[in-house]
Amino acid sequence: MKEGREIFKVTGEPEDTSKIKEHDAWARFREGKKDSRLREFLDTIDFELLRSLFLEAARKSGVNPETLNFVSADGIFGKSGSLLEPLGAYSGSRNIVALSMRKMEDRFGVEGKDLDTVALSTLCHEEVHATAKTICIGLGSEAEQAGYQRTMESATGRLEKRFLLFNEGVTEKLCRQILEEYVERTHFADSQGMNRLRDLFREKHPYESLVEFVDLFIDRVSAETEVSRDLVWQAIIRGAYEGERFDDPELQQLFSELLTPDFIELLSQNKISDLRGKLTKSREKTPTNSFKTNGMNAPRRENEGRLRKWLKTLLPTSL
Ligand SMILES: [Zn+2]
């Protein structure tokens, strides 16, 4: 059984479990105290329930829930030197989550209970990062793989974060699903509070357009394969938990033919706004390009099979 968070030595062998535990404990010790507002928020969270919702989402998408690396309250801190994400962050190398209540307050202009709801959402987002596939090469090194995102050296020696925006869109979409389930179970916020949160996010959330892109991608794959949107979404979740790399040349070719040329390459380069335009346009141009309604077109039927094959490798149930 492969753990969701894997740490390797630079020589390639898996790092000793005892060394990883020691390193993680030291990271927590160094982070020190939490500010009182964060502590107040964390005290209201039912971490056991939250964890069970993540396990359920993983199980539903065919991932072994025992591999999930969920971070409990003792691994969550306030400000943290090198964690620069504005609202929150997850460090794969140290296995800790940072949440900045002050930044959430400033960014969304909320306080009191509404600030708690925003913080719950940020917490869920960072827990998706924590539970998604994480691979670090060298103890203490930042993650080389985080969900779909991969940090790679370019030809010029610069570090590039490939699939960063797709990964953030998938992360935020799963975060919102878990958030809704958690609120339904606990009544953490009332319906007006949740409506205010949705309005706020539509207006101000930095990843709003990325979630819309993931929805558009799901719509297209679902339309091209005639596999339900829900199953396509389960396949995408499983890809994040298993670290799908999209590096199969046949798969790259297939997405190029079905969706838009160089789809995977553009996705890896985070050209989300370019792709959004292309995905919408190419679909409008060929509104009847569903394979079943296009029986004359043999190559299309063949492609449908290949795309369904990709989904099948990621789905728990056979199509
Ligand atoms: Zn994120």
The region of weakest confidence among 76-90, 105-119, 140-154, 292-306 is 292-306
Average pLDDT over residues 209-229: 93
Tell me the pLDDT tens digit for each residue of 140-198.
899 999 999 999 988 888 999 999 999 999 999 999 999 999 999 999 999 999 999 99
32 Cα–ligand 1 center, Å: 23
CA of 164 to the centre of ligand 1 (A): 9
Q: At residue 218, does pLDDT exceed 70?
A: yes
For residues 175, 180, 186, 189, the Cα torsion angle rounded to the nearest 10 degrees is: 100
Q: How far is the CA of 259 from the centre of ligand 1 (A)?
A: 26
Q: How far is the centre of ligand 1, averaged over its atoms, from the C-alpha of 286 (Å)?
A: 34
Question: Which of the residue ranges 70-84, 214-228, 276-290 would you say has the lowest mean pLDDT?
Answer: 276-290
Confidence of residue 268 (pLDDT cuts 50, 70, 90): very high
> How many A from CA of 303 to the centre of ligand 1?
33
How far apart are the CA of 127 and the centre of ligand 1, in A? 9
Cα of 64 vs centre of ligand 1, distance in Å, is 23
Quote the ligand 1 centre to 169 CA distance (angstroms).
8
The confidence score (pLDDT) of residue 27 equals: 85
pLDDT at 1: 79
pTM of the model: 0.90
- Cα(87) to ligand 1 centroid in Å equals 9
* Cα separation, 239 vs 231, whole angstroms: 12
C-alpha 292 – ligand 1 centre gap (Å): 38
Task: Determine the pLDDT at residue 84.
Answer: 55
Phi, psi of 90 (to 5 degrees): -120, 130
Of residues 226 and 123, the one with the higher pLDDT is 123
Give the distance from CA 99 to its chain's centroid. Answer: 17
Note whether 23 and 140 are within 8 A (CB): yes
Whether the per-residue pLDDT at 287 is higher than 60: the answer is no
The stretch 17-36 carries a mean pLDDT of 85
- What's the pLDDT score for residue 174? 98
Least confidently predicted of 42-51, 57-66, 257-266 = 257-266
4 CA to centre of ligand 1 in angstroms: 17
CA distance 237 to 317: 14
Spacing, Cα 198 to ligand 1 middle (Å): 18
Tell me: the pLDDT tens digits for 60-97?
A: 999 999 999 999 999 999 864 444 557 899 999 999 99
**Ligand 1 centroid, distance to 150 Cα (angstroms):** 13
Average pLDDT, the chain: 88
- DSSP sequence for 15-63: PPHHHHHHHHHHHHHHH-PPPHHHHHHHHT--HHHHHHHHHHHHHHTT-
Q: How far is the CA of 168 from the centre of ligand 1 (A)?
A: 5
Phi-psi region of 135 (alpha: psi -120 to 50; beta: other; left: phi over 0): beta
